[in-house]
Structure 1
């Protein structure tokens, strides 16, 4: 059973890293579940401090993930159309076979969203799309860092108890 929990935990932590880039998957939350699965094994003793602090970080990052792109868009004079366009463009960009399609898609989606909101002011749409895009990049980078920290914690704890796990 420990081996199954270890494998599932590792899969969750790695899926969380991919989820930090994909808006469909809650990256830090999935990574935290991976840590929880590791601590549910019989070989690794429960450490409620680690689980509690990482859960708090996960909740904080999840809240900030929704706030940062919207704040970036608003700061640069945009609307919620730009935020929605960023997310839709990101998903579309994932399936377009070009390098960095998700980045290009996020920017173009924000621009198109702002043009739908106000088709007369292209300069404002470009500025708002830039704000939304920068907010998206900041949010994604923050989620990626947290997920990598969770991966490092998973590997460190797993390695520390390797004699009992394997």
Structure 2
């Protein structure tokens, strides 16, 4: 059973790292799930402090993932139309059959949203779309770094406890 939990935890860690860039996957949440699965093995003693602190960080970052791109749009002069465009563009970009749609989508969505708000001011729309893009990149970078930290914690605990697949 420990081998299965360890393998599932490792898979969650890898998918979590990939999910830090792909918005369709909850990267940080999957990485935390990998930590939880590791601590559920019999070889590793349960450490509620580590799990509690990492869970708190996971919840805070998961909430910030929705706030940061919108704040980026607003910080660069965007309106609520641009914020809605960012969110809609993110969803459309995930499912669009174009390469890197999840990156292009929020930018185009914010741009279109701002043009709907004021179709004459193209510079403002471009500036708000740039803010959306920078916010998305910042959010993805924070997710990636935390997933890497969680993966490092996972590997450290595995190494210290000599947890093995066999």
TM-score of the two chains, using structure 2 as the length reference: 0.86
Q: CA deviation at 1:80?
A: 3.6
- Count of paired positions: 166
1:30 maps to which residue? 30
Contact 1:20 1:147 in 2 (8 A): yes
CA change 1:81–1:158 in 2 (3 A) is farther
1:143 maps to which residue? 143
1:133 maps to which residue? 133
User: What aligned pairs does 1:57-136 form with structure 2 within 5 A after superposition?
Assistant: 57-90=57-90, 93=93, 100-136=100-136
For structure 1, which runs of at least 5 residues remain unmatched after alignment?
none
TM-score of the two chains, using structure 1 as the length reference: 0.86
2:161 maps to which residue? 161
My pick for the range that moved more, 58-67 or 104-113, is 104-113
Contact 1:22 1:91 in 2 (8 A): no
Taking the aligned partners of 1:49 and 1:65, their CA distance within structure 2 comes to 24
My pick for the range that moved more, 138-147 or 105-114, is 105-114
My pick for the range that moved more, 62-71 or 149-158, is 62-71
* Paired residue secondary structure (1:138): helix
CA change 1:85–1:22 in 2 (3 A) is farther
Contact 2:74 2:83 in 1 (8 A): no
CA change 1:139–1:161 in 2 (3 A) is same
2:48 maps to which residue? 48
Taking the aligned partners of 2:121 and 2:9, their CA distance within structure 1 comes to 49
Q: CA deviation at 1:153?
A: 0.8
